[in-house]
Amino acid sequence: MQEFGYLKETPSQTAGPYVHIGLTPNFCDIGGVYAEDLGSAMVNDRTLGERITVTGHVYDGTGALVRDAVVEIWQADSAGLYNSPSEMRGTADPNFTGWGRCPTSAEDGAYVFETVKPGRVPFKDGSMMAPHISFWIVARGINIGLHTRMYFPEEADANNADPLLSRIEHRERTATMIASRDDTTYTFDIRLQGEQETVFLDI
Amino acid sequence: MSDIPNRKPETGAFFARDRAWHPPAYAPGYKTSVLRSPQRALLSLDGTISEITGPVFGHSIIGELDNDLIHNFARPGESAIGERIIVHGRVLDERRRPVAGALVEFWQANAGGRYRHKKETYLAAIDPNFGGCGRCITDEYGQYSFRTIRPGAYPWPNGVNDWRPAHIHFSIFGHGFAQRLITQMYFEGDPMIWKCPIVGTIPDKAAIEQLIAPLDWGNTIPMDARAYKFDIVLRGRRSTLFENRLEGN
Quote the pLDDT of residue B12. 85
Look up the pTM and report it.
Answer: 0.96
Contacts of A128 in chain B (CB under 8 A): none
Looking at residues B73-86, what average pLDDT do you find?
A: 98
In this complex, is the C-beta atom of B59 within 8 Å of any C-beta atom belonging to chain A? no
- Return d(Cα B32, Cα A139) in angstroms, integer: 10
Question: What integer pLDDT is reported at residue B247 of this predicted model?
Answer: 40
Whose CA is closest to A77, among A45, A117, A112? A117
Boundaries of domain holding A127: 19-191
Residue A118 sits in a domain of what CATH number? 2.60.130.10
Indicate the Cα dihedral angle B236, B240, B246, B249, nearest 10°: -80
Q: What is the pLDDT of residue B40?
A: 97
Instruction: For residue A74, tell me if it sits in a domain.
Output: yes
Does residue A13 lie in a domain region?
A: no
Output the pLDDT for position B248: 36
Q: Which amino acid belongs to residue A113? A: F
Nearest to B122 by CA among B162, B74, B149: B162
Chain B contact for A41 (CB, 8 A cutoff)? no
The total number of structural domains that make up chain A: 1
Residues of A with Cβ-Cβ distance to B171 under 8 angstroms: 15, 22-23
**Interface predicted TM-score (ipTM):** 0.97
Tell me if A200 is assigned to some domain: no
> E strands along chain A, which residues?
51-59, 70-74, 99-103, 110-116, 132-138, 146-151, 180-182, 185-187, 190-191, 201-202
How far out from the chain centre does Cα B120 lie?
Answer: 21
To test the contact with chain B by mutation, choose from A9, A77, A136, A196 the residue with the greatest count of B C-beta atoms within 10 A, namely A9
Q: Is residue A12 part of a domain?
A: no
Residue A196 lies inside a defined structural domain of this protein: no
User: Tell me: the pLDDT tens digits for B97-153?
Assistant: 999 999 999 999 999 999 999 889 899 999 999 999 999 999 999 999 999 999 999
Kindly state whether residue A202 falls inside one of the protein's structural domains: no
How far, in Å, CA of A6 to CA of B88, rounded?
22
Is the residue at A63 inside a domain? Answer: yes
AA identity, residue B214: P
For B21, the closest chain A residue by CA position comes to: A11
Assess B58–A contact: CB distance below 8 Å, yes or no: no
> Does residue A8 sit within a domain?
no
Q: What is the pLDDT of residues A54-88, one digit of tens each?
A: 999 999 999 999 999 999 999 999 999 999 999 99
Query: Which residues of chain A from 133 to 162 reach within 8 Å of chain B, CB to CB?
Result: 134, 136, 138-147, 149
Alpha-carbon distances, residue B104 vs A199, B33, B167, B171, B182 (angstroms): 29, 25, 16, 6, 10
Please give the pLDDT value at position B238.
Answer: 87
- A61 Cα to chain B: minimum distance (Å): 5
